[in-house]
Structure 1
Amino acid sequence: MAVSKCTRLSGPLTKQVLDSVDSVLFDCDGVIWRGDQPIPGAPEVVNLLKKAGKRVFFVTNNSTKTRKMYMEKLDKLGFEASEDEVFGTAYCSAVYLKTVCNLQGKVYLIGSNAMKQELEAMGIEQVGVGPDPVSGGQKDWAGVPLDPEVKAVLVGFDEHFSYMKLNRALQYLSNSECQFVGTNTDSRLPLEGGKAVPGTGCLLKAVETAAQRHAQVVGKPSSFMFKCMASKFKLDPSKCLMVGDRLDTDIMLGTTCGLKTLLALTGVSTVADAEEHQRSGCPKRQGMVPDYYVDSIAEILPALQA
């Protein structure tokens, strides 16, 4: 096994690495698909890994879809997948509130309908989904009616994010016993053609700033996402490979949890980014250096077809 970090995965080394793991965790956008199109060769890689007896999981910070919605997308794009194999932040944040926070009450949700569905599937009531228009003046805002049963604020991606939602979250979080959870800290969502839109991290930072509190973050690189699947499927970290396109989320998660890591260059981060982290000498940045990299996961195909 190669000792040096950030090694190109090719030739006999590919089979060596695959033989050393029994589970492969894939980030989604930028690794197995871009938007609504699969990365060429990605469905074949995933399906052949399964045929070879590997367990495959799909791990995403995107909170706008339920596990069922992700499974349907995977199926449509040619991937063999079951709902149990999908771990998104909509689902994982519901698990976190139920198991770690031991929530006894409702959630004020800044988030999507998908998050609402995952919370409800876990038996958690929520309030807050949809627009919250501004009315009245500052005294009215400070005294906005609150649901006394709300015991937690959860922030995910919300296209209806507004001043009033920010204000309402602040009022709930003024109670120090109200728990505060965020799905992820990704600040930008990259789109085709080099464009981007603001990500959940921008909304979460706004709420943290207003409330003067830090949220417990569930998504990558938080170790909770791996713990969530490891406890359910009894995964051995040393026999898992994390495949991602972002050094600060996917690769950092793998490093933090003791997984082997593979950077796919079909998304956000580059080899130059990884090498810069490697040269920095900073322990945190060293955690963003992958063990291996490939131009695309399609490069794994020959080792699986042999």
Structure 2
Amino acid sequence: MTSNSEPTRNSPKHILKLSIKEKREFLDSFDRVFSDVDGVIWNLVGNIPGAAQGYRMLISAGKKINFISNNSVQPLSEYERKFKAIGIDVDLDTLVHPATSIVKYLKNINFNGLIYVIATEHLKNILREAGYEIIDGPTKILKESATEFARHIISDEPVRAVVIDVDFNLSSAKLIRAHIFLRHPDCILIEGATDKLLPIAEDLDIIGPGPFAQVIADSSKKRLITLGKPGKDLAEMLVKDFKIENTKRVLMIGDMLEQDVGFGKECGFQTMVVLSGGCKLGDWERETNLANIPDYYADSAADFIELMNDVNKSNM
């Protein structure tokens, strides 16, 4: 029988404030962890103290750890270097981020066509290496002339997919060109990173790619195929690719309410937010979407060190 009552707002529990019995039950409740990277393992300043050791302790306890990021700006070689430096062995084939997810989606639908890309050179190169033909631009400053502007944005090239992710040289001309390509009924719209705001320093956020992707979706009336967190398309792909049968046995850890917690809830996972990145203590109290409120929280992933030690001592 379905209840018609509104969902209740539950406050997340700090993992170190649980009783010993609750700590043990929490650790026993999940077999796999999906974790964000930026703001959880490291940030722009450096590695987050103790986070890597916290994850190594989870791995030693038999938990499977997979990393999932909205950051496809950073090359895979840089991910590999950073994980190696902190002593975490990561199979890059299982690292989930927008560039690889977009390629996987295109292969799954047997896409064959020209792609217009608004993104970094790194993402473009991953698409090229996967065998896809892409176009981009305009990349130069255009004269303030309607004729000149039209010459650079209007074309009859057979674009059948528009991909948008982080682009440090985004312009109105690129957005308008994407809108024009999407007028074709067979042209699809794919979004990578969805972040509305990107935290880059203490008390400093910048506009992320999400709002620009939404502008294109609204103007073209196309469905956004979202392959970054918290996209439903990515959630379905993740559960299928990792052959997850019981989603409640998975814990999603991140530092953002919408991107990480919301994504975990979309997947049916348990969720935990850390306060070492974009989320601050009590942010969930102002959150209007109950799906973005975590089950648990911690100051950082380093809290797993104390939690594991507490449980281990109680087992002696």
CA distance in 1 between partners of 2:305 and 2:233 (Å): 31
Q: What TM-score, normalized to structure 2?
A: 0.84
CA distance in 2 between partners of 1:118 and 1:129 (Å): 17
Instruction: Report whether the alignment pairs 1:196 with 2:205.
Output: yes
Equivalent residue of 2:56, what SS? helix
Q: Residue deviations 1:30-88, cap 9 Å, x none?
A: 11111151111111112222222211111111231344432233223443212023111
Match for residue 15 of structure 1?
24
Residue 43 of structure 1, aligned match among 24, 33, 52: 52
Counterpart AA for 2:50? G
Matches within 5 A, 1:34-183: 34-100=43-109, 102-128=110-136, 131-134=139-142, 137-142=145-150, 144=153, 146=155, 148-183=157-192
Shift of 1:125: 2.1
Shift of 1:255: 1.1
CA distance in 2 between partners of 1:122 and 1:158 (Å): 20
Give structure 1 stretches of 5+ with no counterpart.
Answer: none
Residue 229 of structure 1, aligned match among 226, 238, 245: 238
Moved beyond 6 Å, runs of 4+? none
Counterpart AA for 2:118? I
Cα distance change, pair 136–263 in 1 and its aligned pair in 2 (3 A): closer
Instruction: Report whether the alignment pairs 1:301 with 2:310.
Output: no
CA distance in 2 between partners of 1:66 and 1:107 (Å): 21
CA distance in 2 between partners of 1:146 and 1:65 (Å): 32
Match for residue 250 of structure 2?
240
Shift of 1:137: 3.5
CA distance in 2 between partners of 1:251 and 1:93 (Å): 22
Q: Percent identity?
A: 28
Shift of 1:179: 0.7
CA distance in 2 between partners of 1:259 and 1:178 (Å): 33
Counterpart AA for 1:115? L
CA distance in 2 between partners of 1:139 and 1:146 (Å): 13
CA distance in 1 between partners of 2:216 and 2:133 (Å): 21
Q: Which has the larger radius of gyration?
A: 2
Shift of 1:215: 2.3
> How many pairs align?
297
- Mean Cα displacement is larger for which, 192-201 or 104-113? 192-201
